[in-house]
Amino acid sequence: MRSLDEIKRHWSPELTEPLVSVECIVYHNEGNLAQTLDSILDQETGFPFEIIVHDDASSDATPEIVRRYEKAYPGIVKAICQQENQLSQGIRPDTFTSRLYRGKYIASCEGDDYWVDRYKLAKQVAMLEKHPECDLCFHSSYKIEVGSTGKERVADYGMSPRLVPAGEIIERRHGSIATASVMVRSSITDAYLEFMAGQEDKVVGDVYFQIMAAIRGGGCYLPDAMSVYRYKVPGSWSDSQARNPGIKLQRLRQRICSHERLDALTDYRFTKNFKASSRHLILKGVKEAGATLHDKHEFYTRFSHYLSVSERAFASLVIMCPWLVHFIRRMRARASRHLANRAIGT
């Protein structure tokens, strides 16, 4: 653990308030939390930053770890430890953390994730300062599945810094943007909280946060992979999705309905992009292997109007012949292995 003096040694004495507020949402993260918080405190910056940690009534040692860091880093770490779980009552953690934001910029690093570049905050602040027309900055990340030794690069929008149009971000053309890779201007917070107040889906608010931050001027992209997203951590959202196909279909339905709300909110300027993203989610849903035939048919019927004629035919075939999905996946895997072997041979 770094000392307070080490963290603050390059902070500008002219800045009396944090320039960046880092939101850290935790729940049953006793095994990972120290690494998460240490990776944030390891940041080298020329400006003050603060860390607002919200624990949603964890029953393990998470609250004790949070309080220990708050005591060790007064003025930097601020703890909110709930006595009753709030998300299960439809109240998102950012309802509480947003009241404490003091920074011009907001970054995130949840208890399952961690940062791997000591200059991440400095790089993102510099990018947003350079591009006042943008409210969002993000970078590529690594995704690792618990129990696996490999890692996958996600949100790879190229090898050079660039401005990414809002449409690309809405469609997720290069994969999901990791929550731990995002920095936004705090000025968008009120509009986001107002949107989430009427939102059925309270779990994946980070997706909507990214879209709303991209609406004004797109997003600033940095190619460096500066964070790691742990996937399928026991008890996490990604783990519950994998274990319960019914929940996954419900989340997909909520996401598509949210696209409709966001489309209206943005005066239908991005209708084409929202529809493209919704089509991707629909086709993903009908291929969900563990969902029942009834659930998939109901899901398809609700949203089939988004699909083209050929997509409807494909979706209907997949629903009625689920073995087809496994066959296609096997053929793709075989083709990939064949191409890899040919490349090695050459």
User: What is the DSSP track for 303-322?
Assistant: HGGGS-HHHHHHHHHHHH-T
Beta bridge partners of 32: none
Q: Alpha-carbon distance 330 to 204, whole Å?
A: 31
CB half-sphere exposure, 254, CA atoms < 13 A: 17
Residue in 101, 160, 169, 109 with CA at minimum distance from that of residue 135: 169
Q: Alpha-carbon distance 189 to 98, whole Å?
A: 8
- Please count the other Cβ atoms lying within 10 Å of the Cβ belonging to residue 261: 15
Q: What is the pLDDT of residue 88?
A: 86
Q: Alpha-carbon distance 55 to 25, whole Å?
A: 6
Q: Alpha-carbon distance 306 to 272, whole Å?
A: 11
The whole model's pTM is what? 0.87
Q: Alpha-carbon distance 168 to 277, whole Å?
A: 10
- Please count the other Cβ atoms lying within 10 Å of the Cβ belonging to residue 45: 19
Give the torsion sign (CA, 318, 323, 329, 335). Answer: negative
**Cα 72-73-77 angle, rounded to 5 deg:** 120
Tens place of pLDDT for every residue, the chain, 346 residues?
Answer: 899 999 999 999 999 999 999 999 999 999 999 999 999 999 999 999 999 999 999 999 999 999 999 999 999 999 999 999 998 888 889 999 999 999 999 999 999 999 999 999 999 999 999 999 999 999 999 999 877 778 899 999 999 999 999 999 999 988 889 999 999 999 999 888 888 887 666 556 788 899 999 999 999 999 999 999 988 776 554 455 555 666 888 889 988 988 998 999 899 999 999 999 999 999 999 988 778 889 999 999 999 999 999 999 989 988 888 777 667 767 877 877 777 666 556 5
Looking up tokens 């997509």, which residue turns up?
311
312-345 pLDDT tens trace: 998 998 888 877 766 776 787 787 777 766 655 6
199-210 pLDDT tens trace: 666 556 788 899
Residue in 98, 48, 55 with CA at minimum distance from that of residue 76: 48
Alpha-carbon distances, residue 88 vs 2, 56, 57, 82 (angstroms): 35, 10, 11, 12
Pairing of strands 113-115, 227-231: antiparallel
Q: What is the DSSP letter of 201?
A: -
Superfamily covering domain 4-237: Spore Coat Polysaccharide Biosynthesis Protein SpsA; Chain A (3.90.550.10)
Q: What is the DSSP letter of 191?
A: H
- The full set of domain ranges for the chain reads 4-237, 244-315
Pairing of strands 77-81, 105-108: unpaired
